[in-house]
A and B are shown apart, each in its own frame.
Chain A
């Protein structure tokens, strides 16, 4: 077991214990497992479809109805008349094809793990916030904090998005067909952001890791965001990902710019005061 080093927090009386009891032994078969979905998820059939008319429904009722239909084994659901309601299509931890026939309000499709969502309109703030897996494709534009704290999956907006896109991004791919606003990739920790158009000021500010690809112009880079080197693998990956969603960059994939973390903010607490000034 690891023993914590003596440091300032010890002097303050914290962390006297050793890290014990955190290791678990769990048994599963690495050779024979055939289960491809979560143990508790609904067994849905994507050839079975249903439509919900959400005109008179509250967001809670819409989300409840989606869950009820999944419980019945329906794997292809269309929601008509979502009327830009907030917080719909959230918390779906299942394999599912879900279509919204029009725009959503804020916090749409948040906390999802697995579904393929198609939104035939625009979305408000924080679309697909904390998304874990799956795909979300938006035909129109999106508001600010698009894909906030996303952990995985593909989040695609064919139009332009607002400020702070992918704030605190911890994984996954955010793909924007148009432009992105200021502070995109703020405190990004992992994952990829692909913007075919321009990026606003302070791109990638305070990013710890991850990769940002920009097809147009960058107004200004943020703290610790530096140009990276495009590789053959990057080009192959970008070509494949953009083709998948039928999105093109104005100048071609080869002309895209790559940005990564300068990693000067790593171990920030260990820097000398004059070094901190240099970083910032």
Chain B
């Protein structure tokens, strides 16, 4: 699937195989979780983040993709086990690789913000000062 990523998961209903057509349900995620990132689309913010962390590539962000929650573009945050919807003000390019980079940037900004739920959890339950 990775060689045909552009537009595939954006425009299609994903009912490809005989089994999927039988059950009328897409098997798997609504986006290609196995799509490896193309670093030529990296954003300046993400480059700054990986430089700060001392990494040479996207590291854990390789597994972050833009998905869809109730037909709205969203990114899954593993730290809260929930979806973060992409603001309507952000224009989405018609290319899954570029969309994934936007999702990664937004997720980092959310996870590192003071408004992230894990900050409240830390204040309430952390064993050490270090969370």
Contact = CB atoms under 8 A, between A and B. Distances in A.
Interface range on chain A (Cβ under 8 Å from partner) = 35 or more
Contact of A210 (B34, B59, B119): B34
A20 interface: no
Closest 7 CB pairs of A and B: A152-B60, A28-B113, A133-B60, A171-B63, A40-B131, A237-B36, A231-B3
Contacts of A71: 129-130
Interface in A34-91: 35-42, 46, 67, 70-71
Interface string A77-107: 0000000000000000111010000000000
A20 B23 CA distance: 28
A210 B73 CA distance: 22
Interface in B33-87: 33-39, 48-49, 52-57, 59-63, 78, 82, 87
Interface string A125-138: 00000001111000
Given A35-B112, A192-B36, A264-B19, 14 more contacts: A28-B114, A36-B49, A36-B52, A38-B131, A39-B118, A41-B130, A71-B130, A93-B131, A114-B53, A151-B78, A152-B63, A172-B63, A210-B33, A231-B2
A33 B59 contact: no
Contacts, number: 142
A28 B55 contact: no
Contact of B115 (A26, A95, A154): A26
A192 to B, nearest CB: 7
Interface of B: 2-3, 5, 19, 23, 25, 27-29, 33-39, 48-49, 52-57, 59-63, 78, 82, 87, 90, 106, 108-119, 122, 126, 128-131
A185 B112 CA distance: 32
A191 to B, nearest CB: 6
Nearest to A263: B27
Nearest to B114: A39
B80 to A, nearest CB: 8
Contacts of B38: 233, 236
12 contacts: A24-B117, A27-B115, A38-B131, A40-B126, A41-B131, A93-B130, A95-B52, A191-B63, A209-B33, A233-B2, A237-B37, A241-B57
Contacts of A33: 109, 112-113
Interface of A: 22, 24, 26-30, 33, 35-42, 46, 67, 70-71, 93-95, 97, 114, 116, 132-135, 151-154, 171-173, 190-192, 209-211, 229, 231-234, 236-237, 240-241, 244, 260, 263-264, 266-267, 270
A132 B60 contact: yes
Contact of B130 (A30, A94, A191): A94
Contacts of B78: 132, 151-152
